[in-house]
Structure 1
């Protein structure tokens, strides 16, 4: 700080980037969480990442992870990929998205921010400035793109046509990516669906599966923790909390829950499937063996009491896919009547002036 104050400049070293380029078409049953885990899986295949701690190699460490080839993702979906860049020890993460995806997200956020003003949240002038900035971008949209001649420390190409089954991270290392077929059959004691790696669609999917099970028949201890109170409210309105209760799931307050590692804990030495961000030793429970997986695979494991075979998993995913339009709807606040009504009566301070 003293150098910057004295000279008026602050020299910073720009980290190198690792480009992860997806190509091809996502195959049936393959979720976004599987693409998250495909990055370390292919890193290992390319010799850019090792699991063993001795002589550890990690090409992502301290570099910016740049992801291309998934332009049609929503911003909510993109968060699932960028969140996991911390587990790669990356300095940051960028994802190339379409203008349409970003515009939809900003329209949703403008409605949410107006709803916040109408309900007395935060400082109105500050929120109003954010609304104005978003509306300005919507009027003249522009997104950053990599230079055509950009240079990268490493380039990893992932062909989506090659990924035909889920990819998990084995106990207890988020770098230890493995195919479901390599670990199928493992007995599971507890399942956690929650953390910032989940969204409302994941909880609907779990609810649809649990709805078909006899009351109290779960073969595991199932923990559910929606990431936000708004998700909790919407899921309650749609009747999912009643389904969770009848199934015997333990409902945690919205937020980090088990993922934080200092709140609730799974049983000591239990084997767990979790949607949390990381599975470091003893984080979820003392001596627990924790697999990281998609919410869909976690829900199946909760019902089966074990990691299913690929064939079993695909049968369940066929049911999810048939209801995809109903399940995978995101919290687009500009399309939800409760938020629309509140927002329609708000004139941001910046516009009043």
Structure 2
């Protein structure tokens, strides 16, 4: 089994937090979105992983120079090979996958690093592919599927009129990765675009017309990381899941001076808390200092200094200095409000 992770998008809806780092590398409860996605899939499929292929954007789109090294380390920690490809130009979902064409062989799972989830990954050996879907209130913002007797019959990209409320969440299993590669190649060679881009939904339709049978996969929890408020809610859900499993989320070297931590919280290494109450549902990255502050339900990144604040539903980036009265703030990297 191979895992293909397209993650070249910069996440403009999550700005200012994605001005200096792309959304898939945003850290939630101590791990990047991309790392959490890969680990959840690896645990869920419960079978050997031959390779994990990541498709990233160029450095000009905000991807740090050490991105390749970080992603290869994620794969290595899971006991497998890591490959990193670059999508130099954003030309659509199908084009992004094709950037990893050398890795598109044999059975594979394709998962876009846009959201996190809890899902069943039991793969039926008798089907050609699985597409994980979730019921949504507004399907016009998603690609959707139509079903007949448990088989997917139609794929519609962001329908203007209602055809289905089963949204494709960006996770796919293909029994034949070679066939997927060939159909994307046909799409590109014939310049078949929809809404100006090469869409994966068109490729799925080509495969279906040639006899490929797709079934829907069940998603129990779908966690959005597209904007600030949903990302904070995702942090809350993940902290709850990790705490329920009994995982220790607070580093042993945290300095507590007249302070307390109300779980569940993630506190990274070398954090100092003075006259401060943290939690519940707060993540604070490494090398941060918080003084005379109360924080609940918030996501704080690394190397940040916060003082004299009362924060709730806040998202604060890396290397920030914040001293103020506002509560539900969204502050990007390298910002000073003192």
Into which bin does the TM-score normalised by the smaller protein fall?
under 0.3
Q: Which has the higher contact order (CA 8 A, sep 6+)?
A: 1
TM-score by length of 2: 0.23
- Comparing both structures, which one devotes a greater share of its residues to strand? 2
TM-score by length of 1: 0.23
